[in-house]
Amino acid sequence: MPEYCIRVKRVYEAPDPEDGCRILADRLWPRGLSREKAALDRWVRDVAPTEALRKSYAHKAERYEDFRTAYRKELDENPEAEEVLCFCRSALRSRNVTLLCAAKDENHSNAFVLCEWIKRKMEEKEDVLLSV
């Protein structure tokens, strides 16, 4: 049985068949990008960081760790994040999942934090399932 993965990519990069399920994880639509070129399967804007958190971070490297901590807290308290987790878990049974963002540095983006959060939650759920 093939193993599928969840990863992060800039939404401005061309879609690739290896992307599998393409999910935009930004609250705002990316500038200058048509819906056709984005080739999305889903847009999870309500799981993206709040406007206040996004503005306070402003993609400044020195604020990343604080942003990461605050965004994880938002995800833990957001019931829609659990829905996205379930959707990703289901999609990963048959294909890769690619979380998309407009940020120039996808490794310091909200999509990257969301990806980490989903992976951690899936590992926690696996531990619970294995211990039953």
pLDDT digits (tens, 9 = 90+) for 11-52: 999 999 999 999 999 999 999 999 999 999 999 999 999 999
pLDDT-derived band at 128 (thresholds 50, 70, 90) equals: very low
DSSP H or E stretch at residue 127 = helix 110-131
The model's pTM is: 0.91
pLDDT-derived band at 122 (thresholds 50, 70, 90) equals: very high
Q: Residue 126's pLDDT is what?
A: 66
Cβ–Cβ under 8 Å, residues 20 and 7:
no
Positions of E strands within 65-115: 97-101
Cβ–Cβ under 8 Å, residues 42 and 23:
yes
Q: Residue 2's pLDDT is what?
A: 66
Is the pLDDT score of 127 beyond 70?
no
